Amino acid sequence: MQLNSLKSLSIGLLWLFPANSLLAQPGNFRDSRSKVTVSVEVSQKQAKPGGDIVLAVVLDHEEHWHTHTNDPVVPEELGDPEDYIATELVFELPEDSPLSIHEGFTQWPKPVLVEVGFVGTPVDYAVFEEIAVIYVPITIDADAPIGTTSFIIKPIFQSCDDTSCLRPTPQPDSGSPWDTYGITVAIEIIEPSSSATVTTPTETFQSFERGVFQDIHAGVSAPAEEIRFDVFAIEFTINPDGLFGFLLLLVVAMGGGFLLNLTPCVLPVIPIKIMGLSAHAGNRRKTFFLGIWMMLGVMALWVGLGAAIALVSGFTAINQLFQYPAFTIVLGLFIGIMAIGMGGLFSIRLPNFVYAVNPKQDSWYGSFMFGIMTAVLSTPCTAPFMGAAALWAAKQEPSLTLTVFGAIGFGMAVPYLVLAAFPKLVEKMPRAGAASEVVKQVMGLFMLAAAVYFFGVGLSGMLQQEGAPPSRMYLWFVAACVAASGVWLAWRTLKIATNGAAKFIFTSTGICIVIAASYGGVILTDSGPIEWEYYTPEVLEESLADGDVVVIEFTAEWCLNCKALESTVLHNSKVVAAFEAEDVTAIKVDLTGNNASGKALLHKVGLGIPLLIVLGPDGNEVFRGDFYTVSQVLHAIEKARGK
């Protein structure tokens, strides 16, 4: 959810032109294991070197409860698929373990369709329910030493009924106490001359297809995980197994990279680059030279991201970068310097380091840096096109990760390479003159607004105090930059336009931009009609001790989806009235900055943001949702009261 939110705010700015003691109590934020009993069986407790055994993980669901599948297929009505915790098995083996666990050949239960009402209206959704058995084939090394060997298995899942979900089981890198979670499985490896004691056959293993061991011993590769894409409401899957499948994935990755140029994150800078190329259209060699360097800049950024995901522990997704205030501050400074130079906004002499970062575009270094900046601007808009491919690549070997991310970068850079190779395509663009300068300056001001936004979000998060709201003053500076672009457009149009119609259209557009920016500044900085308590462990504990119904909203300044839900649902007059009741406490967990206790609470809940949770006076969770309606919130409050 974090990436989608940042993308939305970037669109708005760049395209204005068209854990604590309380939580340890039983019943509070109940773990999914309270509704699903997990047990593990092995086909043989004793085995010989070179032998095969089967591990069965049994999920016994309580009536009316279910878990997400290993590959959740989430209907559009149910919101963001990333918020649905897939069932998976995590294994911990000693480095010298003689066991080989063939996770790629895992046999999963057949999903069952149930009706869920997470968003009010019942929707069919495929889940695991009742008794679901997961089979994992295991082989023993031929030279395995005699004795007992063991490993730990940690099933990851989330239990839900037809209206809400419980906190998932602990996940890797979540900060949860993993030493308290896990099932130890012991296997005794006996002498080849001994007879292995085979577990009495039970119904548990009747559904296992033993033919899988033939494939394993024959060296057949495990079935590849299919990658599911959803672009422009067109859904399709790719199986990257084999040369053809992988090449098809690379083609789709390049196509997605190309489409990034058409997103509002990138569109504002394209006219600037086209005009830069057109200035050298008469010199085909130099135009091609500059295009090559811009392509290399775009690809360098994407390959760099791929390298970070492949090699840096704990870094698994592009959007993780935006969770660090220092990164957004540096990004804001970088975009700001580039915006100033490209738009030619100032004629004063800037410090020398600025020219090192932002040299002229007619140099190889300038084109290279412009390519990097263009790729950086595209990252908030990556999810709709390249989220699936990037997520798959992040789980692969480093060489595959780099190849896929390189393909994304190449696809994004292709249009600039084509324009550079065929300069006649840009010859008709205005190479110089007042009109082209105005376009560059207006686009530069929009980019400057984006730079101020990134810098402001980072600074606000860095200065935020725990238990207090972050400052929103930076949004006035963002609005001022946007308004300045409107003023400049209107003023320069009046000065240089000779055509009456053009003068009217562009002057009116500039005035509309100023009005929209002013109104946006007022709306975005307004604290709203709800008197929030800002989260600390003590605030939550006191509210429940008073017997209040507690509504907890998880949000952040960079989460525009959170802001949209606030304005459309939580600021509804009926919801505001419900929050104002004496027995209701509204608590906001703002994660803009380094809110350690807030992040710990989110880790305990186990989901991303936006997120709303309603607790009854006894501390039991009544409702949770990342997408919710007015009626759902009102119903949850009444339910928490016991009505």
**Could you list the residue range(s) of the whole structural domain that residue 603 is in?**
533-640
Mean predicted lDDT score pLDDT of the chain? 75
Pair 83, 561: CB distance under 8 Å = no
Residue 586 belongs to domain with CATH number: 3.40.30.10
Distance CA 362, CA 293 (A): 11
Q: Residue type for 274, please?
A: I
Nearest to 531 by CA among 490, 578, 466, 586: 586
In a domain, 314, yes or no: yes
In a domain, 500, yes or no: no
Residues 546 and 564 placed together within one structural domain of the fold: yes
146 and 291 share one domain: no
Q: For the domain that residue 167 is a member of, what is the CATH number?
A: 2.60.40.1250
Report phi then psi at 356, rounded to 5.
Answer: -70, -40
Q: What's the predicted TM-score (pTM) here?
A: 0.55
Residue 118 maps to a domain: yes
Q: Which residue has the higher pLDDT, 99 or 421?
A: 99
CA angle 298, 304, 305 (to 5 degrees): 95
The answer to whether 103 touches 224, Cβ cutoff 8 Å, is no
Task: Using the 3D structure, point to which of 201, 223, 245 is the last residue of a domain.
Answer: 223
Residue 192 located in a structural domain: yes
The larger pLDDT score, comparing residue 279 to residue 60, is at 60
How far, CA to CA in Å, does 151 sit from each of 99, 102, 637? Answer: 9, 14, 45
Per-residue pLDDT band for 354 (boundaries 50, 70, 90) equals very low
Provide the pLDDT for residue 220: 56
157 and 247 fall within a common domain: no
pLDDT of the residue at 552: 93
pLDDT score at 577: 92
- 35 and 152, same domain (yes or no): yes
Are 80 and 140 in the same domain? yes
- Single-letter amino acid code for the residue at 465: Q
Beta-bridged to residue 39, according to DSSP, are: 58
Residue 260 CB-density burial (10 A; 0-12 exposed, 13-18 middle, 19+ buried): buried
Residues 205 and 247 in one domain: no
The answer, yes or no, to whether residue 469 has pLDDT greater than 50, is yes
Percentage of the chain modeled with pLDDT above 90: 7
Contact 558, 2 (CB under 8 A): yes
Q: Is the pLDDT of residue 176 over 50?
A: no
Residue 492 maps to a domain: no
Query: Which residue, of 463, 484, 506, is where some domain finishes?
Result: 463
Range with the poorest average pLDDT among 42-51, 132-141, 382-391, 534-543: 382-391
Closest among 265, 273, 251 to 425, alpha carbons compared: 273
Give the per-residue pLDDT at 270.
67
CA distance readout (Å), 631 to 119, 580, 625, 641: 10, 17, 13, 15
Q: What's the pLDDT band for 550 if we cut at 50, 70, 90?
A: very high
Q: How far is CA 256 from CA 176, 291, 392, 424, 501, in A?
A: 36, 20, 14, 26, 38
pLDDT digits (tens, 9 = 90+) for 228-247: 655 555 566 666 666 777 78
Q: What is the rounded distance in angstroms from the CA atom of residue 184 to the CA atom of residue 3? A: 37
> Looking at 189, 204, 223, which one is the last position of a domain?
223
**Given a cut of 90, is residue 588 above it in pLDDT?**
yes
Whether 331 and 452 map to the same domain: the answer is: yes
Number of domains in the chain: 3
Query: Does one domain contain both 258 and 160?
Result: no
Strand partners, 134: 57
Question: Taking 50 as the threshold, does the pLDDT of residue 519 lie above it?
Answer: yes
- Which element (helix H / strand E) includes 89? strand 88-92
More confidently predicted of 578 and 306: 578
95-118 tens-digit pLDDT: 888 888 888 888 889 899 888 877
pLDDT at position 214:
78
CA distance 27 to 30: 5
| 112-158 pLDDT, tens digit each | 988 887 766 788 888 999 999 999 988 888 888 888 888 888 888 88
Is residue 439 domain-shared with residue 556, that is, in the same domain? no
For tokens 């190329």, the residue is: 277
> Is 80 domain-assigned?
yes
At 348, the pLDDT band (50, 70, 90 cuts) reads: very low
Residue 575, pLDDT score: 92
Asked if residues 32 and 606 have their Cβ atoms less than 8 Å apart, the reply is: no
Q: Based on the fold, state whether residues 153 and 104 are members of the same structural domain.
A: yes
Report, in angstroms and rounded to the nearest whole number, the Rg of the chain calculated over CA atoms: 28
Indicate if 184 and 247 belong to the same structural domain.
Answer: no
Q: What is the pLDDT of residue 382?
A: 60
CA distance 636 to 643: 10
- 247's enclosing H/E stretch is helix 242-259
Q: Is residue 357 part of a domain?
A: yes
- Does 194 lie in the same domain as 274? no
Residue 511 lies in a domain: no
